[in-house]
Structure formats: structure tokens, C-alpha cells
Amino acid sequence: MAIAVLQANHRWLVYELSKVCEPSSLFLYMKSHQLTPGCIISGFDFPIGIPLSYAAKAGITDLLTTLALFGYNEWDQFYTPAVLPSQISLHRPFYPSRPGNSRRQYLEQGLNIPFDRLYRLCEVAHENRRAACPLFWTMGGQQVGKAAISGWESLLAPALDDPKLNLKIWPFSGSLVDICKTGNIVVLETYPAEFYGHLGLSFSFPVRRSKRRQIDRKAFAYQLISWAGDHDLELDGSIIGLIMDGFGNDLCGEDRFDAFIGLYGMINIILGNHSTGEPVPPLITKIEGWIFGQEQPQKETRVSRNSK
């Protein structure tokens, strides 16, 4: 996680880039780092929302209401990915539990939903970004389903049940302006790949790069430091060192990079340099959710992809 605070001089200070603590205490940890009373805005790189096609079949009309039900009674297997295709159902939609003879068509058959209808609108590809991975598919380097399981079960659902936290989830709890009030914790869904374009970062031009390689992350160092100076951000010395080092040479380097980009992207939007992408359709704000900062498409489209 990357953390920044708004100081008395009205400049953001980016001062921490570290592993996430125990999920049950994460929001309390954030509250303890507030310099003055205000609102905490927290972005998470996992899906927050379910596809409309699934919601219609499962009888879900409001995600926040249903989130408290997942893991109990008829939903008791919801957070347990199916091991066998025969175990997939509307009440147990995540698949597969582990690699091995797993096919997308099994998920299609188990849910009776074509794979290309399992994408939320905000997950489809657009001109600046490839498609994200659908929520319920849990295999491959791009999969996000297991992160969603962890985030919903261990973090969001318990926090929503704790009135002391005043947790609000955008856009389900209301517009950003309405929920960013003193004392509230506002949760957003963020997608670093969406922010690359906002920040002018390219992994394909003028040369092809990969965020998984330290040397390629280093190539963005001066650009990231310059961006901070251009937008009145202050960077703690340890943060500058990490940037210059390409966010480390261990396996967590990619995660540090994406956490940092996610923070930059959020601040960029809060500063007014990019639209929030505030969704309007009620089915989006109640069921599917939205990726913070992603522009609304001119018309609704869904991707068609090979489902083999």
C-alpha cells in the first residue's frame, strides 16, 4: 500500500510504501495516520461489484445489501472457489480453486452465462487499455477473483458492519462529493492499468517494457519524480529511493509499483486533472460498480472473447 496525507500547507506528502497490515485493522491503521480530522479515501486494486448478467440470475438488486449475506446460509460457499465444474453454481460462482484441466466453458455452463457476459461494463477493453479479467474466473496472471474474495470477506463486509468506521463504498453509497465527508472512510475500486494513461506512462512506446522487470520500472523513475514536482506533491526521501531503485528487485517490486501508481492516479483525479468517471445508470451504481477515473463509454458494449 502507498499512503499520502494532505498537509497544512495544502500539499500532499507521499510518505509510506509498505505491505498491508492485518486486514481487520487496516482502516484503524489509516485513521491513526490522519494529521487532522477529515475524510480517508482508500483505493483497492480488486473488483468491487458484480456483473449484471449474474446479478439478474441470482436475484441480486443491491450489492451493499447482499455483501453482508455472502458466506452465510445459502451463500455459505460463495467465497470458496469450486474445485470441480459440477460444484459451480450461482451461490458458488468462483472457479477454479486450482489449475488443472480448468476451462472457461465450465464456468459458462455452471452459471449458464456466456463468458463474455461475465465482464462488468467497466472491465471491457477500450482504446487505452486491454480488458480486465472477469470477477469469477480465478486462474492466470491477470485473475482478480481471489483478491476480491479476500477483500470482500476480510475487509469490506466486516467494515460495513462496524458503525464506528463510517465506511462508504463508491459509487454504491452515493456520489463522491456526497460521501467524502469528515469522519468517513471512502473506498474506491482502482485499476493501475487505467491510471497509466492518465499519468502518461507507456509500456509499449517508444520501447516495449514490462512492469515485472526492475530495469523497466526504473525507466519511469525521473518521470514519476517530475510528476510529483509538477503537481505540488512532496515525496519522502525513502520513497524517492524506492522510485530510483525501480521499487526493488524482489517479487514485490511490481506490487509496490502498482500501489504507487494507484496513489498517483487517485491524487491526480482529486486535484481535478482527470474526471472521476462518476457513473450514472442505477444498475451500475447499485450492482456493477465502477473503476475510479474511468470515462463512461458513449454506449454500452461488452467484449466478445474466445471462451474455450
Residue 299 is predicted with a pLDDT of 54
Q: Mind listing the pLDDT tens digit for each residue in 49-82?
A: 999 999 999 999 999 999 999 999 999 999 999 9
For the residues 94-106, what does the mean pLDDT come to?
Answer: 88
Residue 304 is predicted with a pLDDT of 40
The three-state (H, E, C) secondary structure of the chain, written as one string: CEEEEECCCCCEEEEEECCCCCHHHHHHHHHHCCCCCCCEEEEECCCCCCCHHHHHHHCCCCHHHHHCCCCCHHHCCCCCCCCCHHHCECCECCECCCCCCCCHHHHHHHHCCCHHHCCCHHHCCECCECCCCCCCECCCCCCCHHHHHHHHHHHHHHHHCCHHHCEEECCCCCCHHHHCCCCCEEEEECCHHHHHHHCCCCCCCCCCCCCCCHHHHHCCHHHHHHHHHHCCEEECHHHHHHHHCCCCCCCCHHHHHHHHHHHHHHHHHHCCCCCCCCCCCHHHHHHHCCECCCCCCCCCCCCCCCCC
pTM tops 0.85, yes or no: yes
Q: How confident is the model at residue 112 (pLDDT cuts 50, 70, 90)?
A: very high
Average pLDDT in the chain: 91
